[in-house]
Amino acid sequence: MSEQEVFFSTTDVAEVAEKLRSVTAEYEELFNRLCKQIYVSIETQASASDQVAITLQYVEDALQAFSQNFPDNSHLACGKGCSHCCHFPIETPTQVITDITQYLLDTRSGSELAALKAKLQVNIQQRVPPLNRAPCPFLDEDNACTIYLKRPLSCRWFSSPDARLCEQSVKDGRNIGQHPVQSRIYQAASTALLAEQKKRTGSDQQVAFIPALLTELTKGT
């Protein structure tokens, strides 16, 4: 009697599982390597705006590379005029505050800056615990961002699959799942900026966007 041909064994399962663990570890390491690459590229840059610009270029390149090589069917509900996430309290590395401050000083008149500072102050007062929700002072009458190209990383990071969940979160503070790859890429970028910030200031903590921006604008005017 001839020996039966073997197509499956429990050993095969163990071997494939080990290969998957190895590949998964390599995949996870990609995000750590992205963070390190951004950090070594920005640590020699004296300008906060240059640091932010370099970081965002790496983010854009990474987003494109992951999209091309790891395609998925994820649907993002985010779009112009959908401003529910623009009610959330935002924190950011200090380089972003400096970058946005300089942009505003370069593009706004004295009267516009005075009006903006008043809006920022009102916004701070509107944000009360426990949710601290209020519409961002940079939203226009169409609920579009007036500093879109300069918006903080946290704003870019947001990637909701369902706008209704975002609307509900404004009211009840519920957590909203984010796109797994996009969120990891922006996390790596933020970590790199914070590492450079710590080297410079001793702190690796993000700052509250609106209060920190008001402080810097007040210094600059």
Element of type H or E holding 208: strand 207-208
| Helical ranges in 10-109 per DSSP H | 10-42, 48-69, 94-107
| pLDDT by residue, tens only, the chain of 221 residues | 467 898 999 999 999 999 999 999 999 999 999 999 999 999 999 999 999 999 999 999 999 999 999 988 787 888 888 898 999 999 999 999 999 999 999 999 999 999 999 999 999 999 999 999 999 999 999 999 999 999 999 999 988 888 888 888 889 989 888 899 999 999 999 999 999 999 999 999 999 999 999 999 999 87
* Separation CA 3–CA 125 (nearest Å): 80
**What is the C-alpha separation between 152 and 149, in angstroms, rounded?**
9
Each domain of the chain, given as residue ranges in start order, spans: 10-220
Of 143, 177, 181, 180, the residue nearest 162 (C-alpha): 177
pTM of the predicted model as reported, rounded to 2 decimal places: 0.91
